[in-house]
Structure 1
Amino acid sequence: MSDKDLVFRTARELVLLMVTRQVSAREVLEAHIDQIERVNKKVNAVVTFVPDHARKMAARADAAIARGERLGPLHGLPVLHKDLAATKGIRTTQGSVIYEDDVPTCNTLVVQRLIDAGAVTMGKTNTPEFGTGSQTYNRVFGATTNPYDTRMTCGGSSGGAAVALACLMAPIADGSDMAGSLRNPASFCNVVGLRPSVARVPAWPSPQPHFTLGTYGAMARTVGDVALQMQVIARPDHRAALNAPVIDFTQPLECGVAGTRVAWSTRLGDLPVDERITETLAPAVQVLEDLGCHVDEREPDFSGADEAFSILRAAYYRQSFKKFHDERPKDLGDETTWEIERGLELTVDDLGRAELLRSQVHDRMYAFFGHHRFLIAPVTQVPPFDVREHWPKWVAGVKQTYYREWMRICSRVTLPGLPAISVPFGFTDEGHPTGLQIIGRQGDDLGVLRMAAAVEAATGAWRRHPRIAL
């Protein structure tokens, strides 16, 4: 098979080809290395590249097959890790000049699980400083651009991962999500990004092990490939403070969704949404009805969600990064500094109010999902914007007053810990991708994947690759 053929294959197809000896892990790896060397300079998605390390891992996979063994579900599969995730012996900058030369001595749990399942580490993907915001740029590596239009942003904070996938540089990539960091870049880059339910993917090591807003998750070009990755990373670990029950992600996704009652929301309550988004996603109702779903147009009540999320996030930043604010303030970006300073202003009463509001949102969403299996909405409130702009100052004529205000259509979902996926759906008139956000009940990650797989099959939008990658 040619290198071109291999990079277009899905992760599941590649694993099957390797374990049946139709192609070697080294051949699959070299095809993706060639793609990175050819395309990455145009988009700046892969920021630390370790091809020699990857070749040793691929050789290990081929040696296992020669012995009649399979390393695991991801046997020989090339993977890229987000630069927030610690990788043993491989530089991990977190997008910060403070960690510019940091080389961890151990892998974070998600990375280790991917490797143990047979994946081949090729390097690290770009992220904003400490994953702050949905525009992937930092002072260490610069900006990552959108592969469908390099004048535009790719989103973030898992922006490098989304771009690498869209550009066929890797079949799977890991990422993380607090305010939309798996979903936003997936939407902007026409790939799939799943934010799992709270504790579905355990976090270890973690500076705040009981923190529930942030989570690791999976990215790929197809829903099936996301499920393949979840099969590996989503199981309990005794070292993690929070764990969720095991789900068998090997179950079929193509189960049909006829008869499912879903709620269709264009604004996730009362948020401003750019008309280019609403126009591009308008056919979604018909697509869902054609799949046999019962669709109710209904806006959920997220009152108090924005305030609660902001307080809890600021408290996290205060605890995690106050030391840098005190000792190296000039080495912090504006957005990180803003969050820390909001955290320094918090009182005990603020924290108590945030928890009360979160409980109220949780209760309302519990009742909401008593009537609807899924809530379906846009992923982003705007299409990809100018890569030179740190964040959009206006959305649908409404002024945005802080750097992540335009991300509330994702962060509202984060607060009650709901599983949510961004699945490719269509393109604006300018040719910019948009995604559909499918939100499920707490714990129903497999159901979310099945609904996403049905939408994916109905639209086929994921097959439209950026010209820059071809």
Structure 2
Amino acid sequence: MTDDILFQGALAQSDALAKGTLTATDLMQATLARIDAVNGAVNAVVSLRDADDLMAEARAADAAPRSGWLHGMPIAIKDLANAAGLPTSMGSPLFAGQVAAKDDIMVARLRAAGAIVIGKTNTPEFGLGSHTINPVHGPTHNPYAHGRSAGGSSGGAAAALACGMLSVADGSDMMGSLRNPAGWNNVYGMRPTWGLVPSEPEGDSFLHQLATNGPMARNPADLAALLDTIAGPDPRQPHGLSQAPALPQIAGGMKGVHIGWLGNWGGALPMEPGILEISQAALQQMEGLGAQVTDQAPLFDADAMWDSWITLRSWQVGAGLAAVYNNPAQRDYLKDTAQWEIGRGIALSGMQVHAASLVRSNWFKVAAKAFETYDVLALPSAQLWPFEITWDYPREVAGVQMDTYHRWMQVVVPASLLGLPVVNVPVGFGGPDDAPAGLQLIGKRGSDAALLRVAQAWHAATDWPNARRV
């Protein structure tokens, strides 16, 4: 089998498996050969399982009735989630080699649909920082610009997709982790409406509403199919959402879709040269596909939004990692930026958190009013091109000093703060290394299928992942 089937996508692979023109054994063999050929250079897939065991599972899948659309198809899980029998290091030396006893909800749903879990995908330590590098597995290189960042925290998943090592992948997103790496790796990544894809029923289930799991793929149809697989409420948790399956709804084009272009938020967000231009070129092409694009002035005060965000984020990170931080024997194993974030979160008062949530509530009302005019709001997926892999984070963007380790990703905050659905669409290549860029398409809560329909129309016209492969 040639590499073509590896790049056709998950639904194409599934259809071939169902028709018998492809076997799970051949697909697994091709996948492992592809990983052997390219993973050494990019370091996207980690904790890869034994090849003989995987081939045996593929043969068993060929002999068994189909259990779902992913039957017999390889998948690797982001190394923040638990997959039974595989280590969950979270990129931290504290947890290196720790083997999961059971699957997380998302992983269990993937297995129930027939997927064969082959390993994990690389991530930053505890997923903090949109740059996939950690002391356990090392850095993930950008496949299109070796020596540059693949983004994060789902950088391993995005790079694996770009290289044809996977056809679909899971990821998670608090501060752009499904969007920035997708943009920097010329693939699609979707942050779903918050509550559509459940997390784990552990710890607090009411207060923390920033991060979510979501799908990544090389085309929107696969993105929709994976979303439909992992979505749906968990009865042990509040706030869960149900939506009609997205995949049947993605046809229809983008004629009449009204897009509000937010640009650099009235100058509040520094952008490297070429970022705005490549985004505007994509939007102009969308106008040619029937969309209406309107330049929109800033909808809300960027500084107020940022202060709200870093308060709520530090509060959530601090709550999640307080036990590690408060253990003197473990704290020194945390990277400096993690210690700063956790310490900041622990020190917050309840009234500070309340004040931040009030700002978020006001922004939600403003955004809801904007969606009475627009179907989609658009922003770049990152404010700069992929940076040098040796950096811990960019200290400046377009000459503007960054005052925190994550300020350079401020462009993703408007959607993250409100739990809005966002699809990153690839928009081409540029910058000093001719690297990929992406565009955030943001919708109102519950508009996941409508966003995927816009993305599908864009993909049908451009197909950037296949137009320029690595």
Q: TM-score range by the shorter chain?
A: over 0.9
TM-score, with length taken from structure 1: 0.96
Q: Which amino acid aligns with 1:121?
A: V
How far, CA to CA, are the matches of 1:444 and 1:392 in structure 2? Answer: 33
- Aligned pair partner of 2:411 in 409, 428, 438: 409
- Aligned pair partner of 2:112 in 112, 116, 123: 116
Residue of structure 2 in register with 1:313 after alignment: 313
Q: Is the 8 A contact 1:192 1:422 kept in 2?
A: yes
Q: Following superposition of structure 1 onto structure 2, how do residues 53-452 of structure 1 map, counting pairs within 5 Å?
A: 53-64=53-64, 69-210=65-206, 211-268=208-265, 270-303=268-301, 304-327=304-327, 328-429=330-431, 430-452=433-455
Q: Is the 8 A contact 1:203 1:209 kept in 2?
A: no
Alpha-carbon displacement from aligned partner over 1:71-108 (angstroms, at most 9, x marks no partner) = 10212221110000001111110111111121111100
Residue of structure 2 in register with 1:8 after alignment: 7
Q: Which amino acid aligns with 1:21?
A: G
- Could you say what secondary structure the match of 2:418 adopts? coil
Call closer, same or farther: CA 1:370–1:300 in 2, change over 3 Å.
farther
Call closer, same or farther: CA 1:52–1:354 in 2, change over 3 Å.
farther
TM-score, with length taken from structure 2: 0.96
CA drift at 1:322: 1.4
- Could you say what secondary structure the match of 1:143 adopts? coil
Residue of structure 1 in register with 2:459 after alignment: 456
Alpha-carbon displacement from aligned partner over 1:323-345 (angstroms, at most 9, x marks no partner) = 21121111101121111111122
Q: Which amino acid aligns with 2:74?
A: P
- Could you say what secondary structure the match of 1:137 adopts? coil
CA drift at 1:465: 4.0
Q: Which amino acid aligns with 1:26?
A: T
How far, CA to CA, are the matches of 1:133 and 1:295 in structure 2? Answer: 32
- Could you say what secondary structure the match of 2:379 adopts? strand
How far, CA to CA, are the matches of 1:326 and 1:260 in structure 2? Answer: 50
The gaps in structure 2 that reach 5 residues or longer are: none
Alpha-carbon displacement from aligned partner over 1:314-364 (angstroms, at most 9, x marks no partner) = 111221111211211111011211111111221122111011011001111
How far, CA to CA, are the matches of 2:156 and 2:44 in structure 1? Answer: 4
CA drift at 1:185: 0.4
Q: Is the 8 A contact 1:413 1:420 kept in 2?
A: yes
Q: Is the 8 A contact 2:209 2:419 kept in 1?
A: yes
* Greater Cα shift, 207-216 or 367-376: 207-216
Alpha-carbon displacement from aligned partner over 1:240-272 (angstroms, at most 9, x marks no partner) = 333112221231422122112111121145211
Alpha-carbon displacement from aligned partner over 1:163-194 (angstroms, at most 9, x marks no partner) = 10001001011000000001000001001100
- Could you say what secondary structure the match of 1:251 adopts? helix
CA drift at 1:53: 4.1
CA drift at 1:59: 2.5
Q: Is the 8 A contact 2:253 2:456 kept in 1?
A: no
- Could you say what secondary structure the match of 1:275 adopts? coil
Q: Is the 8 A contact 2:162 2:465 kept in 1?
A: no
Q: Is the 8 A contact 2:90 2:126 kept in 1?
A: yes
Q: Is the 8 A contact 1:231 1:248 kept in 2?
A: yes
How far, CA to CA, are the matches of 1:244 and 1:53 in structure 2? Answer: 37
Residue of structure 2 in register with 1:48 after alignment: 47
How far, CA to CA, are the matches of 2:332 and 2:324 in structure 1? Answer: 9
Q: Is the 8 A contact 2:249 2:450 kept in 1?
A: no
Alpha-carbon displacement from aligned partner over 1:117-160 (angstroms, at most 9, x marks no partner) = 01111110110011001010111111111001111000000000
Call closer, same or farther: CA 1:53–1:319 in 2, change over 3 Å.
farther
Q: Is the 8 A contact 1:419 1:439 kept in 2?
A: yes
Cα RMSD of the aligned pairs, angstroms, is 1.4
Call closer, same or farther: CA 1:108–1:53 in 2, change over 3 Å.
farther
CA drift at 1:61: 2.0
Q: Is the 8 A contact 1:257 1:454 kept in 2?
A: yes
How far, CA to CA, are the matches of 1:53 and 1:82 in structure 2? Answer: 20
- Could you say what secondary structure the match of 2:293 adopts? strand
Call closer, same or farther: CA 1:45–1:314 in 2, change over 3 Å.
same
Q: Which amino acid aligns with 2:368?
A: Y
Q: Is the 8 A contact 1:236 1:246 kept in 2?
A: no
CA drift at 1:209: 2.4
CA drift at 1:366: 0.5
Q: Is the 8 A contact 1:379 1:436 kept in 2?
A: yes
- Could you say what secondary structure the match of 2:254 adopts? coil
Structure 1 runs of 4+ with >4 Å offset:
none
Q: Is the 8 A contact 2:249 2:449 kept in 1?
A: no
Q: Is the 8 A contact 2:173 2:191 kept in 1?
A: yes
How far, CA to CA, are the matches of 1:47 and 1:464 in structure 2? Answer: 27
Q: Which amino acid aligns with 1:164?
A: A
How far, CA to CA, are the matches of 1:52 and 1:271 in structure 2? Answer: 50
How far, CA to CA, are the matches of 2:451 and 2:191 in structure 1? Answer: 10
CA drift at 1:466: 4.4
How far, CA to CA, are the matches of 1:118 and 1:94 in structure 2? Answer: 25
Q: Is the 8 A contact 1:204 1:239 kept in 2?
A: no
- Could you say what secondary structure the match of 2:39 adopts? helix
Q: Following superposition of structure 1 onto structure 2, how do residues 17-28 of structure 1 map, counting pairs within 5 Å?
A: 17-28=16-27
Q: Is the 8 A contact 2:25 2:55 kept in 1?
A: yes
